[in-house]
Structure formats: C-alpha cells, structure tokens
Structure 1
Amino acid sequence: MTSDTGDVWVIGGGVIGLTSAIALAEDGHRVRVLSRDAAEDTTSAVAGGLCWPYRIRPYGRAVRWSVRSFEVFAEMARRPAETGARMVTGTMTSTGRPGAADDGLAAWYAAVPGLRQAAADELPEGDLSGWRARTPLVDMVAHLHYLERRLAAAGGTLERREVVSLEGVGGPADVLVNCSGLGAHRLVPDGAVRPVQGQLVVVANPGIEEWFVAADPGETDTTYVLPQPYGLVLGGTAREDAWSRQPDPAVADAIVARCARRFPEVARARVLAHKVGLRPARPAVRLETERLPDGTRCVHNYGHGGAGVTVAWGCADEVVRRVREARGDSR
C-alpha cells in the first residue's frame, strides 16, 4: 500500500508525459498533468512517428524500452482511427556495408517480428545495406489527443500551466514526474540537455505506401519518407544546438531534393506544410529518482533525443515502478 494519499504530478504534456501519466493513472494513482502547451504545440506533435530507436542513449535500455513500446503500438494499430497508430512496412537503409559498424541495435533487430536484411534489389541506388520491417507508424497529433482522452478515462486530469521550478509544484507529500523534455535544460536545470533541430516538409502523397529512412549515425542531413493520413512527411535534419523553430526555405528545398532522388514523384508533389521540432537530446536518458531540496520526491524522465515516441511506453513502465517505490507501495 502507499505511504500517503498525495497526488502524482506529471510535468509535460508531450508523448513521454502523457504515457507516463496514463500508466500511473491506470495503476491506481491520482494523476495531474501540468503542461504549458496544447498537444498540437508540443515537440511530440512534430515527430514523424516511426517506431525505431534513433539518437538515444544508452542503447541497452533504449532497446528494451523500444521493444515494450512496439508491443503497445502494435496492439493500438488494431484501432488506427481511434489511436493514430498503424502498422506499415518500410526500409531502413545505410550507406555503410552490412556489418561494417555495430550501431548497438542488435537486440532491436532480433526483437522486431519479421525484420530482415533487405535484398540488393530492394535498396535504392547508393545504399549498400538495409532492413525491411513492418513497424508502428503513428499520426502524432491524432495520437496525442487519444492519449489525453485515455488519461481522462483513467481519472487523470490535465492542466494548462507553465512550471518554472520543480520545487513547490505540489504538496510536500506529492511525487513529481519530470517529463519536461527540452524544458529540463532550464527547469532542472540540466545543461546536458540540448536541442537537435529537425526540419521536415509535408506534401500531398503521390501514392507512396511504404516508409523509407536513410539516417546514418552522426549525419546532420537525413532522408526519410513517411506516409501519414494527413500527407507524406519528408525529412529531415539533425542539427545539434540549433534552437530555432523557424523553417528554413533552403533546407526545405534540400529535403525535397534528397527525397526526390529516391522517389522522383515527390519532386512534383504539392507542399502542404513546413515544420520544425527540437529533439531533447542528452548523452543518456535521465530516468531516475531524486529527492528535491524541499523534500519532494521527483522521478526524472527526459532526454530521449529522437526516440521519444519509440521508447515512451517502456519508459512509462519504469516510471510506475519508481513512483511505487517512492510512495512505499508494496505491490
């Protein structure tokens, strides 16, 4: 049983915060989410939504979290209109030769059902290796609204409120769960959290049904094509320490050109939107419990880089365990 009856307050209304809040509420805790931004204004809303570990450390924990999330999203994909999640086949490629470098994802490759190395005739010109898989692809705005509804159904509440300090947020008996993403840079403060800027272009889909990603580790320019219900998402960039959320027209043109080299029909597609998001990168995800100077117990859950969607449910499970421990729950 718990040692007190205080609420659990979750800071952050993106995918990490909402999944953590849902897991806690469905575990029987009284949960309140504090979020400055509406769902469609969060970094999560800009995410391409492909379930695949990207720019996240440490790989060992990230893969375990990713496999758990894969299972949850695969189940959600049975109800795509409700959840925003679908199972879509695609190709992840690299300009490196198969086995040339250990990218740390061997456990992920082993865990994804049906994942296999791509044959040479399944790879675009210039790509020397790749993987074929059927994975979750999530319409993030639709999914975030689903998460908000699911939170409410579990008895949780959502409050639009900016949090400027971790201390004094709730009563002294409350447990905080800090899912502030890039906001942790100032809120904690944690100087190890920095932005990795991602720009994308949404175009009218000319008929592409599979996803495609070419994103070598460390590259600032990537190429991906993600078919979503609202259009074809073209990307992208990964620019460290770039804080601007303003789309750059020259970068957008370069993104379209890279995608068109692999899918020529994209060059003539009508542009629907330009978007920029700031991934909350950190040398390693911070998922740990801390007692704040005012005595409040705080479970930190931030720094997921480009894999917030991919690891959200796995991290939420660990948050539940840590909150139980913080509240003396003997289950």
Structure 2
Amino acid sequence: MAGDGDVIVVGGGVIGLTTAVVLAEGGRRVRVWTREAAEATTSALAGALWWPYRIEPRELVGAWSLESLRVYEELAADPVRTGVRVVAGVHADVRLDELGPWAQEVAGLRQLPPGEVPGGYAAGLGARLPLVDMPMYLRWLRARLEAAGGVVEARTVRSPAEAMVGASVVVNCTGLGAREWVPDPGMRAVRGQLVLVENPGIDTWFTAADEASSETTYFFPQPGRLILGGTAEDDAWDLEPDPATAAAIVERCARVRPEIAGARVLGHRVGLRPVRGAGVRLAAEAGPAGVTVVHNYGHGGAGVTVAWGCAYAVAGLVD
C-alpha cells in the first residue's frame, strides 16, 4: 500500500511507541514525532494491569488483547529490564461466564467463592496477569525502537498534512489529541486520579471497577510504590488532583486492605483516558500524493492491554 519513504508515527505514548517498534522491526524506516517525552504522556501514569477495560469495539478487543498478552508474558521473563511482571490478584464483581470468548484463552482465570474475595464483595475472579511498571517499560520500548533503527523526535505536528511531507505512511497515534488533529469530535477524556503510597507489604493487585460508576477501587504493587485508584470521570478535563477525591480513594482501598490507611503518601497523579464514542479507530485511508494515513487511536482505559495487537494490525494495513 505504501511506497519506500519513511513511516512517520505521530504520538509517543505506549500506542505510538509499540506501533513504531513493530514497523521498524518489520524493516520500515520509522520516525516517531511526539510533542512530549514518553514519561510525560498519559501512558506513563497507567497502573498498568493487562485487562480489557473501558474499550470498544468488543468484537475486536478480545483478539488485540490476547495478542498483547502473549507478548507481555514473554517480556515478563526479564522484569528487571522490561518492567513487566506476572502478578496474582483479584477482579471483584467479575464473573467468568459474563466475559467474552477471549477469557477462555487466558490461562488460570478462576471464579472465586465469596469467602476468597477481599472487601466483602459477593463475587470475584482470581488471575495471574501482566502488571507493567510504565516508566521503566516506556524507556525499554524506546530503546528497542532505537535498536531497530527507529528514531524519536520532539516535534509538535499541528495537522496530518505536516506529517505527510517526505513520508509514504503516516500513523496517527495521537490519542486524545486526535480530537483536534484529525479532527475527531467523538474523542473525549475520562479522567483518572491516582494516589501513590509507600507499599505496606502488599504483593497482589485488586480491582473493583464498575464501568457504570465514576468511582473505582484498585491497587497495584509497583517497584517503590503502591498505586491506588481511582476515578473514571466522563468528559472531565481537569488535570489538578483533588484532595477530597484522593482521600476517598485511600479510604476505599483501605476497606479492602486496612494497612493502606496508614501508608505514607508519595504523590498524586491525574491522567485523561482517550475514549472514543465509536470505539478504537484502526483504519487506513488514502492521503494526498499517494501517502497512506493509518489511524490508531481511541483506546480508552486499555491502551497497554491492546497495544501490541493494534500494532500488528497497523503493520498489516501498511504492508
């Protein structure tokens, strides 16, 4: 579909970097143009547990998620370098028979009796899943891209036309920025607030995330910290942490693990999930002068979960 020119990937979060890695390792000359370094993106703030959460369309998400799962399971063999570990935990208020067909291909998922679900929840699912230390993982991703010959350039790209100059393929991984960049008015922010605390000795993760509620409860043990969450506030764009919200997050998590109540607070974080009303946009279209534009954005709360599957799909559209 494309010619012999460079591939320009616009966006340097986990979606953009993963897509760039797959294309570069497939023999393409790849440049990532990003307004901000990966550690300053929304991706760096993610929890980040592998699980299809707040993402559509469901008929595609399962396959993308499973492809990514296989990659993370391999990367977990070298956690010190990649930041990926396989960790045990519980999804409260989740029933195995209510999940999609993809769940049958995730080894070790098991329905728990109420007595084994912490926090007094009536149902829950036990699992061992990849948990990603995002700052470390994003550094590793960039290094893998550079090892494959790709480059990352700090550059603000105001329109698709700017990226098309000298490129045969432009891949749009702008996330929430697609609202103006495409433009796509269907993009909206779902605000997530987190609290980072000293880990009081917790080595398992926990989630209770009703997708119909703006309040969620979860904690993820990461090196040097325990990440507490959270919120899912639809169409909320405020990046300032709210003290009352932070206190409520700690209180909810402490109902599940009381030792969290006394943990020293290390910091607060706010990220905006890039949600698209029609679901992920992953499609190619013909641009001017023979340039192919591939869109890969709108991954909601599951960018890490589907990153590799979506990147392979992009590669299929480019080749």
TM-score, length of structure 1 as denominator length = 0.93
Matched letter for residue 205 of structure 1: N
2:238 corresponds to 1:244: yes
Residues 69, 130 of structure 2: 8 Å contact kept: yes
- Taking the TM superposition and a 5 Å limit, the aligned residue runs for 1:47-196 are 47-94=46-93, 102=98, 105-171=99-165, 174-196=168-190
2:293 corresponds to 1:298: yes
Report which of the two has the higher share of helix: 2
Q: Which residue of 2 aligns with 1:201?
A: 195
Q: Shift in Å at residue 209 of structure 1?
A: 0.5
Q: Which residue of 2 aligns with 1:211?
A: 205
* Helix, strand or coil at the partner of 2:272: strand
Q: Deviations over 1:188-212 (max 9, x none)?
A: 0000010000000010000001000
Residues 92, 214 of structure 1: 8 Å contact kept: yes
Q: Distance in 1 between matches of 2:113 and 2:100?
A: 19
Change (3 A) 1:75 1:98: closer
Change (3 A) 1:294 1:273: farther
* Helix, strand or coil at the partner of 2:163: coil
* Helix, strand or coil at the partner of 2:162: coil
Matched letter for residue 12 of structure 2: G
Kindly tell me the number of residue pairs found equivalent between the two proteins: 318
Q: Shift in Å at residue 126 of structure 1?
A: 3.5
Q: Distance in 1 between matches of 2:214 and 2:290?
A: 42
Q: Distance in 1 between matches of 2:119 and 2:47?
A: 24
Q: Deviations over 1:276-313 (max 9, x none)?
A: 00000012100001123565310000000000000000
Residues 247, 274 of structure 1: 8 Å contact kept: yes
* Helix, strand or coil at the partner of 1:37: coil
Residues 68, 314 of structure 1: 8 Å contact kept: yes
Matched letter for residue 60 of structure 2: R
TM-score, length of structure 2 as denominator length = 0.96
After the TM superposition, list the runs of 4 or more consecutive aligned residues in structure 1 that deviate by more than 4 angstroms. Answer: 96-99
Change (3 A) 1:117 1:166: same
283-292 or 181-190, larger mean C-alpha shift: 283-292
Consecutive unaligned residues of structure 1, counting only runs of 5 or more, are: 325-331
Q: Deviations over 1:78-124 (max 9, x none)?
A: 00011010000000011x7776xx4xx32232111111111222112
Residues 216, 230 of structure 2: 8 Å contact kept: yes
Q: 1:310 aligns with which of 295, 305, 308?
A: 305
Residues 167, 294 of structure 1: 8 Å contact kept: no
Q: Shift in Å at residue 230 of structure 1?
A: 2.5
Matched letter for residue 287 of structure 1: L
* Helix, strand or coil at the partner of 1:167: helix
Q: Deviations over 1:232-274 (max 9, x none)?
A: 0000000011111111111000000000111110000000010
Residues 86, 137 of structure 1: 8 Å contact kept: yes
Residues 167, 296 of structure 1: 8 Å contact kept: no
Q: Deviations over 1:149-200 (max 9, x none)?
A: 0000000010001111001313365200000000001100000010000000
Measured on the aligned residues, the alpha-carbon RMSD in Å equals 1.5
Q: Distance in 1 between matches of 2:313 and 2:223?
A: 32
2:223 corresponds to 1:223: no
Residues 234, 255 of structure 1: 8 Å contact kept: yes
Q: Distance in 2 between matches of 1:58 and 1:97?
A: 20
169-178 or 205-214, larger mean C-alpha shift: 169-178
